[in-house]
Structure formats: structure tokens, C-alpha cells
């Protein structure tokens, strides 16, 4: 299936980006629950999405989704305990999850703190397969939504430039050693990300402008710019960015 062109939406401020993201999140969730009885979403980590999660936990958005029908996953996680300050799980739990009525067995923390990270990645793949009611040997499922950020080196999730995980062609989730950080991560692979019905990148800040321009319009070199893997996405890809991250692109707001 040919990848659809991404939709780029440029907003004046980060707050406008978060509001737009909250509206899209809510619409996608509502449509998914209406169409197939549940909403499967993979959250992104880092600092950018925190304000979005806080918005979703507040009115009006928190009243617009039947949270009991939502399954939360993570697109990547650091190799730290759930209560560690660097944990993507902890950030989402504090800003969003603990304020919502989400069944505990619908919160699927990525176990990146286990000793055997390779086995833990397989276990997470089995956990995903169970929610989609498929075998973990099947082709990757279609998440209703995968939220992604982008680092100023062009990484997304924990798919960092020139790392092993970029060349994984079968598995949905893998452990990935990041030489520049000298630590391990667990991450969705591009096989899984590319199958999502919707991908929303949220990118703000001047420090992302140069790399964003390269990711969007530069030559296709995903080993150097992993966020370019989104060009292979089968579903709808949205880039929600602020004027600062848009840099040379003209603001359409
Ligand atoms: C992580 C994220 C990562 C993040 C980018 C951007 O675990 O750090 O999943 O992919 O989205 O690094 O991070 P900021 O939003 O902090 O700029």
C-alpha cells in the first residue's frame, strides 16, 4: 500500500499545538471506540507530550473519551524502574493516567527495566498481540494511534541514528543499545509504527527546525534520520508543529 503524504499543521505557539493534538486524540479515540469497541494508543515520552497529557486529563477532553475502552501502550521506554524520574511510564502516569478511570489491565507499561531486555521485548510483543487478539507471529497490528516526538538528531521513539533497531524487519518491539547515551532502551520498530492507522508527531522549539526541514524534505536516509521512516507509514501521519520548529516553512495559522 502506498504511503499517504503527511499532513503538516503549523501553529503559532506550543499551547496551540497541544490543543490541536488533544482534539485529534479525542476524535481518533471516539471513532475507534465507535467503530471497533476499543482505542489502542501508544504514548511517546520525553518532555514535549507532557502538556498534551495534562490537557487530556482536564475538561473538556477528559469527559469526551470513555477511558474504560482505552488500551495504553508506550512506543518506547528507558531502561529504568517505573518510578524513576526518567521513566516515560512515570511521566504519563503522573500527568494523565492516575487522573483517569482506566482499568489497570489496560495500562501496558513497557518493561524496559528487566534484566533480560530481549525476552522482555518479546513479552511486550505478546502483550500487544493479546490486546489485538492476534498471534505475535502475525504481521504487526494497526494501532489506532501512535504518538511520536522527534529528537534534534532526528530520532523518534528510541530509534536513534545508526542503531540496530533500525534494521529489524520482523519484530514489533526490540531492545536497542544507544551508543551516544551509553544505555539501553526498548522501542517499537518501524514495522509496527508504520502500520498505525494514525501517527501524530508533536514537535516544538527552534532546536528542532533544522532537523525537521531535513526529515521532511531532505534525501531519504532513515539510518541517519530515523523520523523519515514515517514516510513509509500506511495510515495517516500528522506533524503538529509550532512556528519555531517550522523554521523556514510558512506558518499556515
Ligand atoms: C523518549 C522519547 C523520544 C522523544 C524525543 C523528543 O523516550 O525520549 O520517546 O523519542 O520523543 O527524544 O524528546 P523531547 O520531547 O523531550 O524533545
Q: How confident is the model at residue 249, as a pLDDT?
A: 79
User: Distance between CA atoms of 158 and 138, rounded to whole angstroms?
Assistant: 23
Q: How confident is the model at residue 248, as a pLDDT?
A: 75
Q: How confident is the model at residue 251, as a pLDDT?
A: 52
Among 14, 44, 88, 165, residue to substitute to test ligand 1 (most atoms within 8 Å of Cβ): 44
Instruction: Locate the ligand 1 atom nearest the alpha carbon of residue 75 and give its number.
Output: 9
Q: How confident is the model at residue 4, as a pLDDT?
A: 80
Would you state the cell numbers that stand for residue 153, as one nine-digit string?
A: 538528531
Residue 80 CA, chain-centre distance (Å), reads 19
Residue owning the nearest CA to atom 8 of ligand 1: 46
CA neighbours within 13 Å on the CB side: how many for 20?
A: 22
What is the 8-class DSSP label of residue 10? E
Q: How confident is the model at residue 253, as a pLDDT?
A: 45
pLDDT single digits (tens) 57-75: 999 999 999 999 999 999 9
Q: Are 253 and 10 spatial neighbours (Cβ–Cβ below 8 Å)?
A: yes
Q: Is 191 in the pocket of ligand 1 (CB under 6 A)?
A: no
Question: Residues of the chain whose pLDDT is less than 50?
Answer: 252-253
pLDDT single digits (tens) 107-117: 999 999 999 99
Q: How confident is the model at residue 2, as a pLDDT?
A: 64
Q: How confident is the model at residue 1, as a pLDDT?
A: 55
Amino acid at each position: 500500500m502506498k504511503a499517504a503524504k503527511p499532513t503538516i499543521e503549523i501553529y503559532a505557539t506550543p499551547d496551540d499545538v497541544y490543543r490541536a493534538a488533544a482534539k485529534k486524540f479525542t476524535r481518533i479515540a471516539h471513532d475507534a471506540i465507535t467503530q471497533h469497541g476499543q482505542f489502542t494508543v501508544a504514548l511517546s515520552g520525553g518532555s514535549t507530550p507532557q502538556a498534551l497529557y495534562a490537557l487530556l486529563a482536564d475538561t473538556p477532553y477528559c469527559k469526551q473519551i470513555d477511558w474504560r475502552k482505552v488500551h495504553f501502550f508506550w512506543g518506547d521506554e528507558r531502561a529504568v524502574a517505573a518510578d524513576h524520574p526518567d521513566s516515560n511510564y512515570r511521566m504519563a502516569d503522573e500527568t494523565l493516567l492516575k487522573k483517569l478511570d482506566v482499568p489497570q489491565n489496560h495500562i501496558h507499561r513497557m518493561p524496559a527495566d528487566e534484566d533480560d531486555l530481549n525476552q522482555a521485548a518479546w513479552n511486550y510483543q505478546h502483550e500487544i498481540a493479546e490486546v489485538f487478539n492476534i498471534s505475535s507471529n502475525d504481521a504487526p497490528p494497526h494501532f489506532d494511534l501512535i504518538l511520536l516526538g522527534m529528537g534534534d538528531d532526528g530520532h523518534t521513539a528510541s530509534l536513534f541514528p545508526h542503531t540496530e533497531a533500525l534494521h529489524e524487519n520482523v519484530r514489533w518491539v526490540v531492545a536497542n543499545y544507544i551508543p551516544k547515551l551509553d544505555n539501553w532502551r526498548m522501542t517499537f520498530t518501524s514495522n509496527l509504527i508504520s502500520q498505525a492507522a494514525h501517527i501524530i508527531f508533536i514537535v516544538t522549539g527552534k532546536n528542532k527546525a533544522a532537523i525537521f526541514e531535513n526529515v521532511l524534505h531532505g534525501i531519504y536516509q532513515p539510518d541517519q534520520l530515523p523520523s523519515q521512516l514515517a514516510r513509509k507509514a500506511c495510515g495517516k501521519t500528522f506533524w503538529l508543529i509550532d512556528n519555531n520548529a517550522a523554521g523556514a516553512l510558512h506558518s499556515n495559522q
